[in-house]
Amino acid sequence: MENVINQINHWIQSLPKEYNSMSEIEISNRPSPNKWSKKEILGHLCDSAINNIERFVKIQYAEQPYVIQSYNQEQWVVVQNYQDRPLNEILNLFQTLNKQVINIIINIPVKKLSYLCNIGNNHQKTLEWLIQDYLEHMEHHINNQILIKNND
């Protein structure tokens, strides 16, 4: 888990610098009508943190396998209106939520990392896998959508 903690800490520190080096047009532009802007992607990462904080906590005490409830990602982004919110608010939210994710991970007893959760279609994974997947999901969006330069 140390690597996951270090990587999340890395993004807590570096992502604000990356965003602050971009123009308002670059962070607000939607590549197409049905694609999120870089601002909305950051909001989506906040939503992911909110949902996973709940999962990381509940898996530790709920009956196993804990059943992961999905959420409507598109609606979360729309309803919270990340597109029209000030960037610094979304960045602060990202940092605060991910500091909480780290706090939870640090405090998980090793034996609980093997606790099971049902991720859908009766596929069972461990809490440790879910935490790793959280980081992979975050880095997918950061590396493939946020950090790439738009050529428009």
Of 48, 130, 131, give the one whose Cα is nearest residue 82: 48
**pLDDT tens across 29-81, in order?**
999 999 999 999 999 999 999 999 999 999 999 999 999 999 999 999 999 99
* Extended strands (E) in the chain: 66-67, 116-118, 124-126
pTM of this prediction? 0.95
**pLDDT tens across 104-147, in order?**
999 999 999 999 999 998 899 999 999 999 999 999 999 999 99
Q: Which amino acid is at 110?
A: V
User: Which phi and psi (to 5°) does residue 144 adopt?
Assistant: -100, -10
Q: Which amino acid is at 146?
A: I
Domain ranges for the chain, please list them: 2-24+36-146
CATH class, domain 2-24+36-146, is: mainly alpha
Number of H helices, E strands in the chain: 6, 3
